[in-house]
Amino acid sequence: MKTKRILISALSSLMFAAQLSLAAGVPGNIGTVTAIPLDHARVQLSWNAVLDETGLPVDHYRVYYDTGSYLNDDITQYGNHLDTPTSDLIYIVEGLMPETRYYFSVTGISEDNKESATFSLEAIATTLAAPRTETTADDQAPTVNQVMAADRTHVQVVFSEPVNLPTTGAESAFLIHQQIDTTGYLAVTNAIKDPSDPSGKTVLLTTDPQQANVNYVLVVGVMVKDQSGNPIISGTADTGLFIGSDKLEGQIMMPVMATVDCGDDLNCFVGHLSDCSPALVNEGDDALGYSIELMQPINDRCEVVYTATHHPNTLVMNTDMRCLVPMANYRAADYKAVFTTDDCEGPLKAGYIDISTIPVADTTPPEDVTNLVLSFRRHMEQFIVEMKWTPSINTAKDLVDQMLYMSLDRGANYDAGKSLGPSATNAEVPNLEGGKEYTFKLTTKDASGNESTGLIKAIRLPQTGAGTGLMLMGSGLVALQTLRRKRK
């Protein structure tokens, strides 16, 4: 393996080492490297520019790194190294482990693949902690959304979320007085969960007879809590205003609730089937589509109205059907599995086509892999490029293969590619010649043949041959008195 020496930190030795490098016909030595952690997997490095043996800027740089320091070792073996794609003086090392201390050193590489005689001084950086996804407990207090007099002795109170009442004396949690004459109290004689509202958000109060057209203020006490035990907060949203009614006791009407427009999000829509609260969703495309509106509860079912907005049969356009769907907690897939037109009535019923039965062309490839890292090792007179990566997140769960392509002209043209299979996270490319730059592209494919853009990385391999070995041996003997040896 190629022998290399550590750069002495003393300024005089550093200057002498630079002179030795020029005398040996290799690029100059990099003095100081700065390392800044960017996140849990990346560190940004920067350093001073160096010239090659002809006095021109070097072609690129080589970054060595490991989780241990080799500054004070006689023989150095860094576990990782990679070549920068250009001669830029800033490079981001990716694919690192979170909360880990790394040691970095950099050398210059000339166009003819000659390397600095010494490593730079080591830079140290510790990666940040990985982001954590934490579930947040429900700490939001319920609020009063609406208050209305159902008749002269009943008041309905609608909360922002389902609430629980005290098991005894629930009526004492509610206070009603006139808005102008604050001493004019209206007695609350009973408080129950409104049986006509399956969502659990409405409380039905029984009161003494109200005065018609008088403004009343309702105040809710902290004994009312949501299902997570959060009490209503006094002085914030615990009050509501309503007008007294002279309507005789009879059928109690629920407050009118605004319809939630879910756009094309079916999961949003079916979430309202748990309480039959009004909602609207659009399903389909330009060839076949429906506007679906959730209207109201009828016993233990929800009335859902389908209207054809687009249909292959023009006679069916704009017709509708009214369906009764069991009230339950659904996901979109559950709803599609149980929905049937058996409980529907209307002109659309005969022409209804289930959108889920129409195949949809898949044109979206799986997400690309990330954190592709290239390195190499020497084998006889040739090289093996080693690579590792983080798998695609594969959101659609349809990834069936990964393809590796290689280019010898910096990505202008690639070979036919090699299949790596769907689960590989590392690969090797053997029998590569030194002194050349290789560009690799790693893509993902799904069962429909969609292929991702791919992640591209390049690496330049060092020159091989007897001449290189003799030159390095000579430069090592010249600097032996002042510089310690190190091995890659």
Q: What is the CATH number of the domain that holds 58?
A: 2.60.40.10
**474 and 455 housed in the same domain:** no
Q: Are residues 99 and 204 in the same domain?
A: no
Are residue 274 and residue 220 in the same domain, yes or no? Answer: no
Task: State residue 133's pLDDT score.
Answer: 57
Same domain, 168 and 205: yes
- Going across the sheet that includes 437-446, the strands are 418-419, 399-407, 437-446, 455-460
Q: Does a structural domain hold residue 250? A: no
Q: What is the rounded distance in angstroms from the CA atom of residue 450 to the CA atom of residue 362?
A: 8
pLDDT at 276 > cutoff 90: no
CA separation for the pair 171, 138 (Å, rounded): 26
Cα 348 to Cα 357: distance, rounded to the nearest angstrom: 17
In 3D, which of 146, 273, 248 has the Cα closest to residue 202?
A: 146
Angle at 236 between CA 181 and CA 177, to 5 degrees: 20
For residue 112, being part of any structural domain is answered with yes
Q: Is residue 253 part of a domain?
A: no
Residue 23 pLDDT > 60: no
Percent helix, percent strand, percent coil in the chain, to nearest 5:
10, 40, 50
Identify the domain boundary among 293, 324, 357. Answer: 357
Same domain, 439 and 471: no
Q: Between β-strands 185-186 and 225-226, what pairing exists: parallel, antiparallel or unpaired?
A: unpaired
- The span from the CA of 217 to the CA of 224, in Å, is 17
> Are 19 and 108 members of one domain?
yes
- Give the tens place of pLDDT for each residue, 155-206: 999 998 999 998 788 899 999 999 888 889 999 999 998 888 888 899 999 9
For 255-267, the pLDDT digits (tens) are 455 678 888 888 8
Asked whether residue 254 is domain-assigned, the answer is no
Residues facing residue 240 across a β-bridge? 218
Q: For residue range 26-55, what is the model confidence (pLDDT) as tens digits?
A: 898 998 899 999 889 999 999 998 998 888
Nearest to 323 by CA among 309, 347, 342: 342
271: phi then psi, degrees, rounded to nearest 5:
-60, -25
The amino acid present at 374, given as its one-letter code, is L
Coil vs helix vs strand at 11: helix
Last residue of a domain, one of 332, 357, 382: 357
In a domain, 168, yes or no: yes
What is the Cα–Cα distance from 460 to 383, expressed in whole angstroms?
11
pLDDT tens-digit map of 381-425: 899 999 999 999 998 899 999 999 999 998 999 999 999 999 999
**Bigger pLDDT: 313 or 174?**
174
- Cα–Cα nearest to 212, from 186, 253, 243: 243
Same domain membership, residue 409 and residue 299: no
Which residue did the predictor score with more confidence, 8 or 82? 82
CATH number, residue 237 = 2.60.40.1220
Residue 131: both structure tokens together: 């982001």
What is the β-pairing status of strands 239-243 and 185-186?
unpaired
Least Cα distance to 205 among 154, 169, 145 occurs for: 154
Confidence of residue 14 (pLDDT cuts 50, 70, 90): very low
| 33 and 79 both lie in a single domain | yes
361 pLDDT tier (thresholds 50, 70, 90):
low
The pLDDT of residue 24 is 52
Lowest-confidence range among 234-243, 373-382, 455-464?
234-243
Q: In the chain, how long is the greatest CA-to-CA distance?
A: 110
The candidate with the shortest Cα–Cα distance to 323, out of 298, 304, 301, is 304
Q: What is the pLDDT of residue 85?
A: 92
Same domain, 26 and 116: yes
Q: State the Cα–Cα distance between residues 8 and 242, nearest whole angstrom.
A: 84
Task: Kindly give, in sequence order, each residue whose CB lies less than 8 Å from that of residue 420, ignoring residues fewer than 6 positions away.
Answer: 401, 402, 403, 404, 427, 442
Report if residue 255 sits inside a domain: no
Beta bridge partner(s), residue 67: none
Same domain membership, residue 112 and residue 24: yes
What pLDDT is attached to residue 277? 83
**CB within 8 Å of 481: residues ≥ 6 apart:** none
* Residues 161, 306: Cα–Cα separation, whole Å: 28
Outline where 192-346 has alpha helix (H): 266-271, 332-338
Q: Which residues pair with 204 in a beta bridge?
A: 156, 192
* DSSP code of residue 336: H
Give pLDDT tens digits for 95-144.
999 999 999 999 999 999 999 888 888 899 999 988 865 545 677 889 99
Question: Is the pLDDT reported for residue 379 higher than 60?
Answer: yes
Range of 174's domain? 144-243
Does residue 171 lie within any of the structural domains? yes
For residue range 443-484, list pLDDT tens digits in order: 999 988 999 999 999 999 998 754 444 444 444 433 333 344
What is the torsion angle, in degrees rounded to the nearest 10, for the CA atoms of residue 423, residue 426, residue 429 and residue 430?
-120
Q: Are residues 313 and 423 in the same domain?
A: no
The domain boundary residue, chosen from 313, 335, 357: 357
Looking at the 3D structure of the chain, how many domains does it have? Answer: 4
Flag whether 252 is in a domain.
no
User: Do 480 and 390 share a structural domain?
Assistant: no
Q: pLDDT, tens digit, for every residue of 277-301?
A: 888 889 887 778 888 898 777 767 8
The phi, psi pair for 109, rounded to 5°, reads -125, 125
Q: What is the DSSP letter of 131?
A: P
